[in-house]
Structure 1
Amino acid sequence: MPLTVGVEEEFLLLDPESWHSLPLVERVRAALPAELRPASRHEFRLSILEMVTPVCTDLGELRGHLAANRRAAAEAARRTGVRLVAVGATPVAEPDRSVAHSPRYRAIARHYGPIARDPALCGAHVHVGVPDRDLAVRVCTALRPWLPLLQAVTANSPFAGGEDTGHDSWRGIAGERWPGIGPTPPLDSFADYERTVAELVASGSMFEPELVWWYARPSLLYPTVEVRVADACPTSDDTVLLAALVRGLVATLSAEVRAEKAAPAVPEHLLRAAHWNACHTGLAGTLTDPLRRTARLAGDMIAELFTAIAPALAAHGDLELVQAGLLRLRDEGNGATRLRRAARSSGGLPGALHARAEETAAP
């Protein structure tokens, strides 16, 4: 039985002249076709639109929903006077950093202060269905050493303040100012998860349980493992590749958990170093392998990931899709590489963001 998969994609709403982020999400949602409004959500920041797919088992079906969501949202944005752009961090500026109009969001903003007024960040969140939450928690623990690689593969936010940050994923660097964002702690049951979250809320560092935004977590709403480490992906094909890799990992690690194979111990300092390095270098150089405790070429680590999950990919009918996606990734680079390349050849950052807006909505 194939594991189900669903995706939440966050997009920035940018002014087509200044490329500043604009707080127009409610107007854009109102401009969506009526049948797609239920698939849209506003986030903490009013310059972000989130679009959600239905639960799918086939990745072709998933891609169809992703593409339809993007086309409709891009057209609604155009009618509102903004552009929908798939990038992981505010690339130029966000003059209005007000939060969504709800008592909860205002309370969160008061609790976290200036952190809550940082420029907006956008991710792609993949949900993979699992039968119970204890399994979900143990899979999240087993995912820990793999997630820095997924972060490097999907890094797509090299610009901030109108300048190249020198990092492939500024979202990953800036996001860790929030105490709820970071590697998943090693946990062995849902009761362990609930106890850990309750301790964090009691400590004051976590405003509420819903603000646990670890890179992988058991969803509080659905019977899924939710992987949140990825930047917003440039195209529907990039998002489908991410979903395939995540589903392959969850399927592979679920089998290992059921077989009582212990998750590998990962030193916390090396895991955090691996995430920082993934955000910094992306796929352009070496990455930190937290299991082997050494630097390795990104291409070698991707090949190792593919070998590890190939049986699960084959069982889901995703093997050829992932092979093609990884070849494209090798030839074209991740989103950060492609955005920098466009900035060099398309009239600087404004030209690159115009091209990315077109790419975001491409069929």
Structure 2
Amino acid sequence: MTIGVEEEFLVVDPATRRTAPHADAVLKQVGRLPEGARVHPELLSTQVEFASGVCDTADELRKQLVSGRAELRAAARREKLGLISSGTAVLSGVHVPVTAGARFERIRDIYQGVVEDYQVSGCHVHVGIPDRDTAVAVINHMSYWLPTLLALSANSPFENGRDTGYASWRTVQQGRFPGSGLTPWFGSAAEYDHFVDHLVDCGVLVDHAMTFWLARPSPRYPTIEVRVADAAATVDEAVQQAVLTEGLVRYAQAELDAGREAKPIPDQQAKAAIWAAARHGMTGPAIDLRSGRPVPALAMLAELTDLLGLPEVKVRPRVTGDPAEVVDALMEDL
């Protein structure tokens, strides 16, 4: 089973610690990348993305992420800039223009104020899957555990210098878009595609590639793309998300092979579970989507690792403190 990761980073001015709209300059300085890896601009000109190549093992993925981060960090330094891996902008620049390009400009025109300062960054995990019908059925199973992956990844308490009180403010910001949250239950890839096409026809999505659901069959690759996690501060945390995600895909496939289909999750219950994960991260209550009852987030994580046969995972403490010092620490972590 193959894995890959897309990491989004924010460009910052090391002097002011604020985001800086110079992603294009950083990308032009990027030199040699790992085999199969790529870098891209994002919606806003303060963001860059590194996409790993297709990897067969976690060790191979780790090497790619270490190399990719090092090259992007060096590219930023050549422009006297820095990079941070944070789900939201800790400190924001005054003006954050949309990256040039017809698609990005169309996104701005449709969503208006929602994207004016949409500086959110995620850690997107791709896991190879044999076909799209299997991908949809696997996602139905995975949905029960995605709030736990979100809580574990939470790395965005700040919005422009303000501690929001949420562990993942990125999730709150994403919730303002249509087609966000847990993926609805679908019985086939055709049913999934028909529903997404309907949202595009209604004018609420730019195109078929722009759903904001936290997991989806990739519109470009033969993978499941899981986009639940905040940007990972460190490579270790990004690899940890990838390993857990791959484990969940394997578990879901085993359930399907045994003839056990996932049941639909009530919509409001799904929204509540995502909200709880975004609000508390690993420090408070979670909602077990199987029973609908509140349970400690740490208990959900322990049950997940046991279910997947994985060792205990590292839980990052909630980020607090002076925003400028937080930016400095994130630059150092990268």
| Superposition TM-score tier, normalisation by shorter sequence | over 0.9
Partner amino acid, structure 2, of 1:110: D
Query: Residue 109 of structure 1 aligns with which residue?
Result: 108
Indicate yes or no: 2:78 matched with 1:55: no
Partner amino acid, structure 2, of 1:239: A
Q: Superposition pairs for residues 197-346 of structure 1, below 5 Å? A: 197-310=196-309, 319=310, 322-323=311-312, 326=313, 328-329=314-315, 332-333=316-317, 337=318, 339-340=319-320, 343=321
CA contact (8 A) 1:25 1:47 kept: yes
CA distance in 2, matches of 1:175, 1:50: 18
Q: Which runs of 4+ in 1 moved over 6 A?
A: none
Partner amino acid, structure 2, of 1:276: W
CA contact (8 A) 1:93 1:119 kept: no
What displacement does 1:167 show? 0.2
CA distance in 1, matches of 2:290, 2:227: 21
Of residues 8, 30, 33, the one that matches 1:10 is: 8
CA distance in 2, matches of 1:146, 1:137: 15
What displacement does 1:264 show? 2.9
User: 1:188-207 CA distances to partner (integer Å, 9 max, x unpaired)?
Assistant: 21101111111111222212
Partner amino acid, structure 1, of 2:200: V
Query: Residue 196 of structure 1 aligns with which residue?
Result: 195
Task: Compare the two structures and name the one with the higher helix fraction.
Answer: 1
Indicate yes or no: 2:63 matched with 1:64: yes
How high is the sequence identity, in percent, across the aligned residues? 35
What displacement does 1:38 show? 5.8
Q: Given the two structures, how large is their TM-score scaled by the length of structure 2? A: 0.96
What displacement does 1:258 show? 2.8
CA contact (8 A) 1:99 1:106 kept: yes
Gaps of 5+ in 1: 311-318
CA distance in 2, matches of 1:201, 1:349: 39
Gaps of 5+ in 2: none
Q: Given the two structures, how large is their TM-score scaled by the length of structure 1? A: 0.89
Of residues 343, 349, 352, the one that matches 2:326 is: 352
CA contact (8 A) 2:26 2:79 kept: yes
CA distance in 2, matches of 1:34, 1:303: 40
Query: Residue 172 of structure 2 aligns with which residue?
Result: 173
CA contact (8 A) 1:39 1:51 kept: yes
Query: Residue 21 of structure 2 aligns with which residue?
Result: 23
Deviates more, 1:92-101 or 1:298-307: 92-101
Count of aligned pairs: 333
User: 1:137-185 CA distances to partner (integer Å, 9 max, x unpaired)?
Assistant: 1111111111111100000000112011000001001111111322101
| Residues 119/91 of structure 1: CA separation in 2 closer, same or farther (3 Å cut) | farther
Indicate yes or no: 2:161 matched with 1:162: yes
